[in-house]
Amino acid sequence: MGITIAVIAVIAIAALWAVSLYNRLVSRRNLVKEAWSGIDVSLKKRYDLIPNLVETVKGYAAHEKTALENVTRYRTASMQANSPQDKIQAENNLSRALGSLIAVAENYPDLKASTNFLQLQDELSAIENNLESARRYYNGTVRENNILVESFPSNIVAGMFGFKTSVFFEIDNPVHRERPNVSFQ
């Protein structure tokens, strides 16, 4: 009788432990999803601002067609990307294209002095700062999720219920990790 109670107690403790781990895994997965939605909000603001920025530059720099087309093409590709991996790659391309567009603006003093362009530049800067914070939060939640999914013994429960590691939002080319020095002064 005493052995039966001990076995039942061990099974009950193991079950509670497994339920607790499962709930932590679900929590981490939802935090990753929440963090990704924060990135999506910042990206949506960025996507909405880009056409205004392109039109403003287009008015001053009509012959800079390639830079304008690249921004538009990469914006569309980024908006259509579905998976985090595709979105990360598309965003890296869009960031490079935006950097080129801003560099084009450096060659046009009237454009740099335009109130509309300055306002758009300030909005883009604020959005980029929000996006940087959202990426940092996302990567932190991915780190915590991945540790839990990959660590023993939680990896057993994660494997049983199909929990997967998430992808970090990283810059793919080390040269692009350096923040460009952009000045509108």
Asked if residue 182 belongs to a domain, the reply is no
pLDDT greater at residue 69 or residue 12:
12
- Res 180 pLDDT > 60: no
Asked if residue 103 belongs to a domain, the reply is yes
Asked if residue 163 belongs to a domain, the reply is yes
Q: What is the mean pLDDT of residues 45-51?
A: 90
pLDDT band at 24 (very low <50, low <70, confident <90, very high): very high
Interatomic CA distance for residues 148 and 21, integer angstroms: 9
Report the domain count for the chain: 1
Asked if residue 143 belongs to a domain, the reply is yes
Asked if residue 10 belongs to a domain, the reply is yes
The CATH number linked to 55 is 1.20.1440.20
Asked if residue 96 belongs to a domain, the reply is yes
Residues 121-172 pLDDT 10s:
888 889 989 999 999 999 999 999 999 999 999 999 999 999 999 999 886 6
Which residues does 61 contact at the CB level (< 8 Å), separation at least 6? Answer: 68, 104, 105, 107, 108, 111
pLDDT, residue 181, reads: 53
Which stretches of 61-161 are DSSP H helices? 65-80, 84-105, 109-113, 115-150, 154-160
**Parent domain of 18:** 2-177
Asked if residue 108 belongs to a domain, the reply is yes
Asked if residue 132 belongs to a domain, the reply is yes
pTM, two decimals, is 0.74
